[in-house]
Amino acid sequence: FPVEDLKRSLSNAEKIIVIDRSLSLGHEGNLSIELKSALYGSSANIISMILGLGGRDIPKEFLEKLLEDAILGKESSGFKGVKDFEEVIP
């Protein structure tokens, strides 16, 4: 895992959105866990999202809204509990 590269690249980031297509049961996505470990002690707000499970597409409009809300400090519907998995609930 490129710990030093990530520390250097994200050293000035205030918010980091991690979009995982995998899930670690009982926890966050695997990439999010690794990133939080690599950036331990950073003041950045790391937002973990589980999207695209099962190879599902992530709509461009959803990503645009997600980024807009994160920049404006709003909480998107994608940040609230089970809503993260809305696309896979029948």
The pLDDT score that the predictor gives to residue 83 is: 47
Q: pLDDT tier at 13 (50, 70, 90 boundaries)?
A: very high
Phi, psi of 3 (to 5 degrees): -55, -50
More confident: 25 or 15: 15
64-79 residue pLDDT tens: 988 888 888 876 545 4
HSE toward the beta carbon, residue 68, CA cutoff 13 A:
7
Beta bridge partners of 50: 20
All structural domains of the chain:
3-88 (3.40.50.920)
